[in-house]
Structure 1
Amino acid sequence: MEIRVDDLTGSKVKELIMNHLRMMEAQSPPESIHALNLDGLRRPDVTFWSAWEKCELLGCGALKELDAQHGEIKSMKTASGQLRKGVSKKILQHIIDEAQKRGYNRLSLETGSIEEFFPARKLYESFGFNYCRPFSNYREDKNSVFMTKEI
């Protein structure tokens, strides 16, 4: 698997992000959707990675800088044909490693509270993320859970 910084111009990556956004819209009310669109993922405070096996897109993830010591995980998504193959674990580890290289001492994230997000919450728990109060500009929301990890 090759994980590389991506400029979000390729059709496969665009399709994966649009699929991610459609899934969020189907599962959450608009005020509870915090996924970034393509323009949001291209902001200078966000680094976006895609994971590939030859020409096949496996998944993606992003890291948003909140401040000099705190990053936020965004847009973790595995391609539908790649589920349960360890793709998200490798991308998440890549993001954690990059956050450490940048000198962050904390990584946080927001994910959904409903059953469909259970696998994501279990993944983050397995990497040592703990549930926390809302961070940054987030507010309490019954449709969201917040997690953080000191690194």
Structure 2
Amino acid sequence: MKIIIDDLNGPEIQALIAEHLRDMADSSPPESVHALDLSGLKKPEVTFWSVWEDGELLGCGALKQLDARHGELKSMRTASRHLRKGVARALVEHIIGEARRRGYERLSLETGSMESFFPAQRLYASFGFVECGPFASYVLDPNSLFMTKELA
């Protein structure tokens, strides 16, 4: 697996982001969808990575800087044909490493609270993320689960 910074201009990554947005819209009410679209992922405070193997896109993820000490894990997605192959685990590990290199003291995330999000919740918990309250501009939402990890 090769993890690279991606400019989001390739058709493969655009298709995966579109799939991600459709899936989030199908899984959550509109007011509870916090996934970033292409324009949101191209903002300067967001670093976006894609995961490739033998010329095939396996998945993606992003790190959004909230402030000088706090980052947010965003846009985690594994291509459906590559689920349960360690793609998400490798990407979370990579993003945690980058957050540490940047000197962040905390890394947080928002994911869904529904059953379809349980595998993601278990993955994040396996890295030491714990439930927390809303952070940044999020508000309490029964469809959201907020998690955080101390990095310092």
TM over 0.5: yes
- After TM superposition, the structure 1 = structure 2 runs for residues 103-142 of structure 1, keeping only pairs within 5 Å, are 103-142=103-142
Quote the Cα distance in structure 2 between the aligned partners of 1:54 and 1:41. 25
The one-letter amino acid paired with 2:78 is T
**Unmatched 5+ residue regions in structure 2?**
none
1:46 matches 2:42: no
- 1:12 positional shift: 0.4
Quote the Cα distance in structure 2 between the aligned partners of 1:125 and 1:101. 21
**TM-score by structure 2 length?**
0.99
Structure 2 counterpart SS, 1:137: coil
Quote the Cα distance in structure 2 between the aligned partners of 1:99 and 1:25. 28
Q: Quote the sequence identity (%).
A: 64
- 1:104 positional shift: 0.2
- 1:29 positional shift: 0.7
Per-residue CA deviations over 1:71-121 (Å, capped at 9, x if unaligned) read: 000000000000000000000000000000000010000000000000000
The one-letter amino acid paired with 1:149 is K
The one-letter amino acid paired with 1:70 is H
**Unmatched 5+ residue regions in structure 1?**
none
- After TM superposition, the structure 1 = structure 2 runs for residues 73-112 of structure 1, keeping only pairs within 5 Å, are 73-112=73-112
Quote the Cα distance in structure 1 between the aligned partners of 2:58 and 2:24. 19
**TM-score by structure 1 length?**
0.99
1:4 corresponding residue in structure 2: 4
The one-letter amino acid paired with 1:128 is G
RMSD, matched Cα: 0.3
Q: Which runs of 4+ in 1 moved over 6 A?
A: none
Structure 2 counterpart SS, 1:134: coil
The one-letter amino acid paired with 1:125 is A
How many residues were matched structurally? 151
1:72 corresponding residue in structure 2: 72
Structure 2 counterpart SS, 1:89: helix
Structure 1 counterpart SS, 2:128: coil
